[in-house]
Chains A and B, each alone.
Chain A
Amino acid sequence: MKVISIEGLIKTYQSGWPGSPTVTALAGLSLSVEAGEIYGFLGPNGAGKTTTLKILLGLMRANGGTAVVLGNPAGDVKTHSRIGFLPESPYFYDYLTAEEFLGFYGRLAGLSHAILPQRITGMLQIVGLTDARTRQLRKFSKGMLQRIGLAQALIHDPELVILDEPMSGLDPIGRKQVRDLILSLRERGKTVFFSSHILPDVEMICDRVGIIGKGQLLAEGTIDELVHRDHTDSVEVVCEGLDGESIAGIRPIAGRLIQRGRQCLIILPNPDSVAKVLAEVAKHQGRLISVTPQKRSLEELFFEPAEIPCETRVPLCGT
């Protein structure tokens, strides 16, 4: 079942006064998110990620195309009780204590007085802020604000959680906590749609990824599909004890050869040449330390030119 379905979404802005040139934020974006999956929405700054999220939440209206969330048109207020949202670099009512803050969002989500106190206590436990429950948000660190922001997004136990850059500005511990929280949501059958710049985190937790550039979807698929497709893996061979003569024998086969003291790093663009290199190492009585196949990373894919249209770049797009 599709939880989010976007077809040909268009959004243009007036760059200034009426009559001034328009800026295209979304140019026919299409994507879909299945129930129960973690979908990573990637793209450089200004690609249209936040605009897409805002349209899905009714903060903005599209100029064209359709966006359906949980079976209803995007922006339908009734659907919002089934959605949790955390914006990028959130700023909350800093005069509220953590408890008051969650109480406010819980009441807005329609939680009754009977269940609200236990939901607040539970959420504070989950995000590790029980000790700070009576502290005003103005005294919170950035990491604590991000965690209380996640708690408000989850206080009403939504089916769909939309997170805009949930790991930005967090230290490694904070990022791990957010990652674990997102993974625990999937275990509970929730759907998570989040945008991020932190690619290792995306690679670690996402079921599927969509890459957006200039308002269009450039690539979509599972991490494996995206990073392996149309790509020749390279292999890194590390060995030591090779002399100048043996290195000269290997150099024509290797893509790159780097010497670090006694050790030698050989990068082979073609995995088929591993056997030849190993034979050379053995012939010259070198010692093999490691052979590591190198996979194309999501980061490499992310940094490829965004100008290439979706169909020609990654045929998975839209499937």
Chain B
Amino acid sequence: MWNIVVIALNTFRENLRDKILYNLLLFAIFLIGGSVVLGKLSIMEHDKIMTDAGLAAINMVGVVIAIFVGIGLVSKEIERRTIYTIIARPIRRFDFLFGKYLGLMTTLAVNIAIMLLVYLAVLWFNHIPLHASLLQAVQLMFVEMLIVTATALCFSTFSTPSLSAMFTVGLYVVGHLISDLRGIAEKIDNDVIKTVVTALYYICPNLEMLNIKGQAAAGVSVMLSYQAIATAYGLFYSGFLLAIACLVFERRDF
């Protein structure tokens, strides 16, 4: 357990000293500020558009960090051979992997917290009512990032960084179209394709379940039980992906 904390803190420190993250954070703050302009320019529902655009900005930047930092978590260590001196220490490979994951999630949590504060301040200055639903939406966004980061990490244990990025982006897109997949599968006549699409429906994460930005922008909260189930689903799916990552990583030669 102690080793996981040591690795996580070091990963967090690595991320803090990476200038790219600051650029992304500034970009997000710029986008949140831009949502004010977007709201003013719109003919109606100014508040809803501002609220929605701000949430989308937080989500987008969070996912970009999750994917592009996530794929480098392990692959960079292997490529630069820093992993040699780590694995040669009294540390299990699982501890290393989970520590890296936890370190990035801590970074994401801090980033999201900063973006959320800026976002709420922007809304407040523009006299837009603040709802608890906004916090619910951001919390489920974070759960989505847990899954996306675990996906990136899982792919990066056996694939190149570029392929890992492609697979993760692909899974992210499919994850948001998951409800359409079932409808598509029902309309397909070819049995093979139907089976593949149905399998994708069951295998891919249902990220749309974690997307309540629309309701939140309208000031509608989801029930706490829904939030709890969606969170549990996200944690379970991330755990599943991390378990696969560990199995692959455990057998890997460096």
Q: Which residues of A contact B (CB under 8 A)?
A: 54, 57-61, 77-81, 83, 85-87, 90-93, 95-96, 100, 104-105, 107-110, 149, 152-153, 162
In Å, the complex CA distance between A108 and B89 comes to 7
Contacts of B45 in A (CB 8 A): none
Q: Interface digits, B224-254 against A, CB 8 Å rule (1 contact, 0 not)?
A: 0000000000000000000000000000011
10 A–B contacts, CB within 8 A, in A order? A57-B84, A61-B253, A77-B91, A81-B89, A90-B85, A91-B81, A93-B82, A96-B13, A105-B85, A108-B3
B86 on interface, CB distance cutoff 8 Å? yes
B88 on interface, CB distance cutoff 8 Å? yes
Contacts of A100 in B (CB 8 A): 13
In Å, the complex CA distance between A92 and B76 comes to 11
A93 touching B10, Cβ below 8 Å: yes
Closest CB pairs A-B (n = 5): A85-B88, A81-B90, A95-B17, A80-B90, A108-B89
Contacts of B40 in A (CB 8 A): none
Question: Given the known A-B contacts A90-B81, A93-B82, are A57 and B87 also in contact in the complex, defined by CB atoms under 8 Å?
Answer: yes
A59 touching B84, Cβ below 8 Å: yes
Contacts of A104 in B (CB 8 A): 6, 10
Number of B interface residues at 8 Å Cβ cutoff, please give it.
Answer: 24
A87 touching B254, Cβ below 8 Å: no
How far, in Å, is B99 (CB) from chain A's closest CB? 10
Contacts of B80 in A (CB 8 A): 91
Contact pick for A91, options B13, B18, B82, B91, CB 8 Å: B82
In Å, the complex CA distance between A60 and B78 comes to 13
Contact pick for A109, options B10, B82, B89, CB 8 Å: B89
A54 touching B90, Cβ below 8 Å: no
Contact pick for B91, options A108, A152, A153, A162, CB 8 Å: A108
In Å, the complex CA distance between A54 and B13 comes to 28
Within 8 A of A (CB), among B1-45: 2-3, 6-7, 10, 13-14, 17-18
B14 touching A95, Cβ below 8 Å: yes
B131 on interface, CB distance cutoff 8 Å? no
Contacts of A107 in B (CB 8 A): 2, 6
How far, in Å, is B209 (CB) from chain A's closest CB? 37
Q: Interface digits, B143-186 against A, CB 8 Å rule (1 contact, 0 not)?
A: 00000000000000000000000000000000000000000000
Q: Which of B18, B86, B87: most chain A Cβ within 10 A?
A: B87
A153's closest neighbor in chain B, by CB? B85
Additional pairs, 8, CB under 8 Å, beyond known A59-B84, A80-B90, A104-B10: A80-B88, A81-B90, A87-B84, A87-B85, A90-B84, A90-B85, A108-B7, A110-B2
Contact pick for A78, options B7, B83, B90, CB 8 Å: B90
Contacts of A90 in B (CB 8 A): 81, 84-85
Contact pick for B81, options A77, A87, A153, CB 8 Å: A87
Contacts of B18 in A (CB 8 A): 95
Contacts of A152 in B (CB 8 A): 85
Contacts of A77 in B (CB 8 A): 90-92
In Å, the complex CA distance between A156 and B90 comes to 11
A58 touching B85, Cβ below 8 Å: no
Contact pick for A59, options B10, B14, B253, CB 8 Å: B253
